[in-house]
């Protein structure tokens, strides 16, 4: 039996994102007929329904076996659990009655008119619930909040402001808080931070990062503490500087210092203060401004009333330090004061009062202006009374006298009794050391007109500093050795001043007095310096260079580059640019951390320039291994790479173009190699 069906399809499927939820089912109506077109008898038939993505062949997207009841010549069946997501494409329906062949052709599915809107609804964008409430949801405004709907747009507005509640502030009980942003009262950010009206310093004092900024006509911000409490530590205004990481200030200016509370007066008016503190003089131990260590161990107060109800402008329990002038009409130190007492201090600078007699005022000394004078006697420190010069029974720290040879004696007991004597004799001042007090001792230092001599332990001259004298044409400094083979100075430094040898001179002699090194600034009056020595050792570098100017630059000049004679500019060099160049002159010194050993040149002539070029010695050279790997010992010549050397392959062409020998190798590419420069 072949079933031919005349069917009507009612697709009752909507996306799950639609506003009203509908059953995900499909209604199929039709007539089951035999091969001759006659309706089948009324009764129950098992029918397979299938959906395909093509009119023939294709894929089976959905199928369901349903018992269909045909009554009065037609059937009406509801297909359940049809996934609406498969209807994102054109589909075809086929049917098969059990035991019969599949109906042909397949029927193309079409939408009913009211279902066309469902194609415009995005399942993932539709709201199915709100805060857990599904299906019908009613939005209502609370206190000071209105809800307005225009077509599909819902507007929620807050009363009492132009911008509304943007949700940034959190209200917890009686508290209103926000982690970021600013609060402006009496103005806005532009008015508060205005350099034209307030100046640059005001901007530093009131930064834009402050959380609360207040501007007022007469008072900016007022705080009054009226709560009755027995808890200490209360304040009408509390400021605390706290950070997770340290950020030290730079100076004492508003823009460079950090503070828990900062005050800044920007008016320029008289009686205008950055910070003002006032206190009612009702109770003692009160002040207008308190500055204290956090533990209260050190503190100072301005306008302080003490225990005895006495009022002080400044009162502190710690020391007062000032780097500038301290000027006061009255200075009072209460402890130990008495009429006529003298203010003295100890070694730590602690001042105190002492009676006049304690200061040694016996009337023998005359004070005239800033001078203290006495016509006779001895001044002694470190002893009860001055001691005669030869008195070895004791010592004085310092003694000045005028009735014996040593005018000044400095005594010490460190390492045993000893004395330093300072005395004058025959136009010289002697500084002598004595192991006892009975003699002048060995002269260590002598000062005479135009010369100073320092003696050694045996009293012989070790150092002599001399101005121009009879045995010299200028000032000299001489150092003597202890060699018994000569009395000549080992080191002499002189500044000659006669008409033929103006200039400085340095002479170094050996232990036999033989001159070994001589440095003369004006040799034989020629105006040219000269160094004479048997051996000259240079430890600062390893090559001999001359100064050249580098012209016709094809590349950036740098140490290690090979240079050649510039044929168009006499006396100048240029980076080498061709292989086997017989004009090769050397290498710019200083590459690879190896410094120039000796630099030669003559300023103001053709033999002068800005760059040191190594002519002999060890230097690092830029090399190119493209012509062949370079091994230690290979002869080097110029390459076609500007400023680079390469291995000599053609020895006939290399005649006269050899730069030197490689001391390190280079297998490939370009790089620095240590080279012994020996131009050939």
pLDDT above 80 (res 420):
no
How much is the pLDDT for 561? 95
Domain annotation covers residue 497: yes
Same domain, 611 and 584: yes
Residues 73-126: tens digit of each pLDDT: 788 888 876 776 677 778 888 888 888 888 888 888 876 654 544 444 444 444
Least confident window among 85-99, 147-161, 554-568, 614-628: 147-161
Domain annotation covers residue 236: no
Compare 468 and 351 and report the one with higher pLDDT. 351
Least confident window among 134-138, 258-262, 486-490, 523-527: 134-138
User: How far out from the chain centre does Cα 499 lie?
Assistant: 59
Same domain, 423 and 499: no
User: How far out from the chain centre does Cα 310 lie?
Assistant: 52
Least confident window among 427-436, 511-520, 543-552: 427-436
Same domain, 563 and 666: yes
Domain annotation covers residue 172: no
Strand order in the sheet with 25-33: 4-12, 25-33, 74-79, 60-71, 43-52, 92-97, 107-108
Same domain, 382 and 302: no
Contact 659, 636 (CB under 8 A): yes
Number of domains in the chain: 6
Last residue of a domain, one of 414, 449, 484: 449
Compare 164 and 48 and report the one with higher pLDDT. 48
Same domain, 312 and 377: no
How much is the pLDDT for 371? 67
Same domain, 311 and 378: no
Label residue 206 by pLDDT band (50, 70, 90).
Answer: low
How much is the pLDDT for 622? 97
Average pLDDT over residues 118-136: 53
Last residue of a domain, one of 260, 289, 317: 317
pLDDT above 90 (res 613):
yes
CATH number reported for the structural domain that contains residue 21 in this entry: 2.60.40
Same domain, 441 and 560: no
Can you tell me the distance from the alpha carbon of 359 to that of 367, in angstroms, rounded to the nearest whole number?
A: 14
Compare 57 and 386 and report the one with higher pLDDT. 57
> Highest mean pLDDT range out of 438-452, 533-547, 559-573?
559-573
Same domain, 550 and 594: yes
Same domain, 674 and 549: yes
Same domain, 31 and 77: yes
Average pLDDT over all residues of the chain:
76
Domain annotation covers residue 130: no
Q: For the residues of 461-517, what is the DSSP string, one character each?
A: EEEEEE-S-TT-SS-EEEE----TT--S-SEEEEEE-SSS--EEEEEEE-TT--EEE
Residue 564 has φ and ψ, to the nearest 5°, of -130, 165
Domain annotation covers residue 129: no
Q: State which residues form the domain around 189.
A: 181-214
Number of other CB atoms surrounding residue 492 within 10 Å: 20
Domain annotation covers residue 243: no
User: 208: which DSSP letter?
Assistant: T
pLDDT above 80 (res 565):
yes
Residue 361 has φ and ψ, to the nearest 5°, of -85, 95
How much is the pLDDT for 459? 65
Domain annotation covers residue 464: no
pLDDT above 60 (res 400):
yes
Can you tell me the distance from the alpha carbon of 303 to that of 476, in angstroms, rounded to the nearest whole number?
A: 67
How much is the pLDDT for 376? 64
Same domain, 526 and 559: no
The percentage of residues in the chain with a pLDDT greater than 90, rounded to a whole number, is 16
Q: Which pairing describes strands 183-185 and 175-177: parallel, antiparallel, or unpaired?
A: unpaired
Last residue of a domain, one of 88, 104, 120: 120
Domain annotation covers residue 609: yes
Q: Whole-structure pTM over 0.85, yes or no?
A: no
Same domain, 672 and 548: yes
Compare 105 and 166 and report the one with higher pLDDT. 105
Contact 636, 662 (CB under 8 A): yes
């Amino acid at each position: 039996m072949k079933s031919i069906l005349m069917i009507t399809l009612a697709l009752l499927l909507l996306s799950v994102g639609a506003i009203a939820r509908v059953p995900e089912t499909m209604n199929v109506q039709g007539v089951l007929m035999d091969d001759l077109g006659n309706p089948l008898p009324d009764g129950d038939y098992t029918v397979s329904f299938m959906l395909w993505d093509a009119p023939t062949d294709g894929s089976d997207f959905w199928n369901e076996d349903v018992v269909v009841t045909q009554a009065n010549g037609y059937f009406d069946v509801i297909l359940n659990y049809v996934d609406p997501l498969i209807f994102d494409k054109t589909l075809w329906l086929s049917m098969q009655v059990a035991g019969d062949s599949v109906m042909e052709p397949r029927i193309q599915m079409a939408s009913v008119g009211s279902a066309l809107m469902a194609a415009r609804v995005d399942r993932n964008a539709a709201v199915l619930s709100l805060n857990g409430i599904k299906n019908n949801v009613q939005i209502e405004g609370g206190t000071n909040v209105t809800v307005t709907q225009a077509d599909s747009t819902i507007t929620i507005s807050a009363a009492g402001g132009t911008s509304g509640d943007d949700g940034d502030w959190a209200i917890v009980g009686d508290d209103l808080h926000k982690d970021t942003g600013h609060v402006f009262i009496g103005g806005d950010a532009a008015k508060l931070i205005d350099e034209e009206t307030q100046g640059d310093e005001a901007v530093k004092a009131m930064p834009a990062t402050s959380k609360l900024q207040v501007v007022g006509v007469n008072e900016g911000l007022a705080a009054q503490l009226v709560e009755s409490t027995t808890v200490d530590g209360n304040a009408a205004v509390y400021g605390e500087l706290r950070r997770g990481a340290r950020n030290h200030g730079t100076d004492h200016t508003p823009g460079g210092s950090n503070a828990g509370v900062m005050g800044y007066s920007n008016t320029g008016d008289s009686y205008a203060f950055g910070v003002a503190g006032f206190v009612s003089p009702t109770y003692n131990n009160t002040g207008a401004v308190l500055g204290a260590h956090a533990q209260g161990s050190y503190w100072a107060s301005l306008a302080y009333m003490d225990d005895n109800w006495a009022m002080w402008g400044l009162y502190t329990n710690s020391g007062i330090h000032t780097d500038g002038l301290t000027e006061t009409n009255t200075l009072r130190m209460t402890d130990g004061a008495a009429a006529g007492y003298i203010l003295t201090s100890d070694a730590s600078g602690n001042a105190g009062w002492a009676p006049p007699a304690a200061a040694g005022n016996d009337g023998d000394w005359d004070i005239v202006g800033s001078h203290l004078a006495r016509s006779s006697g001895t001044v002694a420190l470190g002893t009860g009374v001055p001691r005669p010069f030869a008195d070895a029974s004791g010592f004085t720290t310092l003694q000045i006298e005028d009735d014996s040879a040593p005018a000044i004696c400095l005594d010490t007991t460190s390492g045993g009794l000893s004395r330093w004597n300072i005395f004058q004799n025959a136009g010289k001042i002697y500084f002598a050391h004595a192991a006892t007090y009975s003699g002048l001792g060995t002269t260590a230092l002598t000062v005479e007109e135009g010369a100073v001599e320092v003696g050694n332990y045996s009293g012989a001259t070790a150092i002599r500093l001399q101005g121009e004298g009879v045995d010299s044409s200028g000032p000299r400094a001489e150092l003597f050795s202890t060699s018994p083979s000569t009395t000549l100075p080992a080191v002499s430094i002189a500044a000659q001043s006669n008409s033929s040898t103006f200039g400085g001179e340095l002479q170094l002699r050996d232990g036999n007095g033989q001159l070994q090194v001589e440095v003369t600034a004006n040799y034989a009056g020629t105006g040219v310096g000269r160094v004479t020595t048997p051996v000259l050792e240079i430890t600062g570098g390893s090559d001999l260079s001359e100064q050249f100017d580098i012209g016709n630059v094809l590349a950036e000049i740098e140490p290690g580059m090979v240079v050649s004679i510039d044929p168009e500019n006499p006396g100048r060099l240029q980076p080498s640019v061709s292989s086997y160049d017989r004009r090769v002159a050397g290498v710019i010194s200083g590459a690879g951390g190896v410094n120039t050993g000796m630099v030669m040149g003559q300023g103001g002539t053709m033999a002068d320039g800005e760059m040191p070029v190594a002519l002999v010695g060890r230097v690092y050279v830029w090399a190119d291994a493209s012509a062949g790997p370079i091994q230690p010992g290979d002869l080097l010549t110029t390459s076609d790479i500007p400023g680079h050397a390469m291995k000599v392959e053609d020895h006939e062409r290399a005649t006269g173009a050899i730069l030197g020998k490689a001391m390190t190798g280079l297998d490939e590419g370009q790089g620095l190699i240590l080279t012994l420069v020996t131009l050939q």
